[in-house]
Amino acid sequence: MGQRITALAVVDKTFKVSTLLERPGVTGQIQGIKISPSNESLKGCHVLIEFTTPDATMKNLKACVKHKVKMVIGTTGLNDTQKKEIKKASAKIPIVFSSNMSICVNVFFKVSEMLSKKTPENYSVKMIEAHHIHKKDAPSGTAKTIAEYIQAASSKKVENIESIREGEIIGDHKVIFESPEDTIIIFHHAKSRDIFVKGSLVAAKFLKNETKGLFNMQDVLGLN
């Protein structure tokens, strides 16, 4: 993700990539930009696009508050305490925080919400999600978000989320609404991680005129 964000941000004239953060011990350059093990290199930056681990995100969150750097957070697997820290920090800096930065996945969220609202109560809902074998959290953050939209829109509950971890699957999500009379299936298949990268760049541009507050991709895309 870091390499693809860098590659697409470099060719987008809106951005000037100033620093690349990595865990201690990782050195080198990407696109001629030096990799830094210290989040103190954020000083003077306008926005950090963050796709790391929960612990790293929390450390970088503190650095961004310290240096008044806006944040786009796409990290998944954060616990409730960590999410509260993000919300607290958003009183000082503007943050876009979303389990999935893809523009079309966020449209998928709204379609799931609409189906939950409009289908009769006798419809059951289940979900199947698949990702690569390296993904640590299950169900995926995206699957949990879909379930939240469905359950907030009506009395329906997602009865089961089946998680598959195999190969190098980037991300598949299938939601099944079923009644005795018919079945409705909506499905999203990610072909490339660039869908998340492009969405995160849109989110970073959205923050340009924001001074504080917590936003999600629904806010960024005007879907709320």
Catalytic residues, which ones?
A: 131, 135
How far is Cα 85 from Cα 65, in angstroms, rounded to an integer? Answer: 11
125: helix, strand or coil: strand
Q: What ranges make up the beta strands (E) of 38-169?
A: 47-50, 70-73, 94-97, 124-131, 158-165
**DSSP code for 45:** -
Beta strands, E only, the chain: 20-21, 29-30, 33-36, 47-50, 70-73, 94-97, 124-131, 158-165, 172-178, 183-189, 213-215
